[in-house]
Amino acid sequence: MENFNRLNDLYFKKLLGDKKRKNLTLSFLNGVLNKDDKNYFTDISFLDKDNEPLTLDGKLSKLDIRADLNDGTQVDIEVQVCPFKLMAERSLYYWSKMYSEQLEKGAEYKKLKKAIAINLLAFDYLEDEQEWHNIYNLLNVKSHKKLTDHIEIHFLELPKFTLKDMRKIRASEAWLAYFSGKYSKEELEEIAMTTPAIKEAVEFEDTFLQDKIERRAYEQREKAIRDYYSYMNAFKEEGLQQGLEQGLQQGLQQGLQQGMQKGLYQQAIQTAKNMLKDKVDIKLISKYTNLSVEEIKKINEE
């Protein structure tokens, strides 16, 4: 299938979030975390992928893949396709929940284990960084000494990725090459010579696409993303027009703000209606429209 999006959340979870293929997940994690034969992770247990809303506005906290590794290390892998300016804040929020949820009431702090957040991004996020893989820890601002190794946040930016030497490819590079969609099946077969997990991933991809039900679900997710971009562009145009009209009466600045807000909200409602007609999951609609789950349920009832 041409232009197959391997970062589609449904496909990504099927590929790396299923215990049947945990060897692929371990290959991905050991590669990204630069583990060698002496300290690589040997097992993984997948946990619940969705957390209940905790914020006052009812926004849903959602992790694409959440798991425990064999040494107790906690890890979450999140894929973000649509550009999002607050990725750092969101990743830190997810990390903090993952870290704090380790302890039950009255438990000792020494039981806490390292928590790692991995963000796989389909857009440029770190404007001042040239490398595609950037890692953040908690450091002293003067000495740059690490306070603790319990916090580790990774950003993998696909647009910045370029494979330099296919003959000396590392596991992390092999996986980024696969998810980037920049390389042909023939090139991926060559990459699989050094990273066998990629061959298995390509074979699973073929099986996935041959399944009519899975393929239909994938196409619906892709349509939802396209609609999101389309409606967001409409938000901007309609909001700007309404803002200009109101600005003639109330002052340009105030009118622009109110017009944008009204236009965005009305378009969000229309977007939710369209997505409900396509039987898109309510939580996914909430994610793309910023409407609360309760608002969407009310729209659905009406």
How many C-alpha atoms does 244 have within 13 Å on its Cβ side? Answer: 5
pLDDT at 232: 66
Give the residue among 87, 153, 93 at the shortest CA–CA distance from 126: 87
Q: C-alpha 145: how far from its chain's center?
A: 30
| Distance between CA atoms of residues 54 and 169, nearest Å | 42
pLDDT at 180: 92
How many CB atoms neighbour CB 85 within 10 A? Answer: 8
CB 15 within 8 A of CB 203: no
Residue with tokens 């090139």: 187
CB 150 within 8 A of CB 99: yes
> Which strand (E) or helix (H) includes residue 224?
helix 212-250
Please list the ranges in the chain whose pLDDT falls under 70: 1, 48-63, 105, 228-229, 231-265
CB 180 within 8 A of CB 161: yes
Give the residue among 239, 233, 237, 227 at the shortest CA–CA distance from 287: 227
pLDDT at 249: 54
| Distance between CA atoms of residues 243 and 220, nearest Å | 33
pLDDT at 288: 72
pLDDT at 96: 93
pLDDT at 295: 83
> 3-class SS at 231?
helix
- Which pTM does this prediction carry? 0.72
What amino acid occupies position 54?
A: L
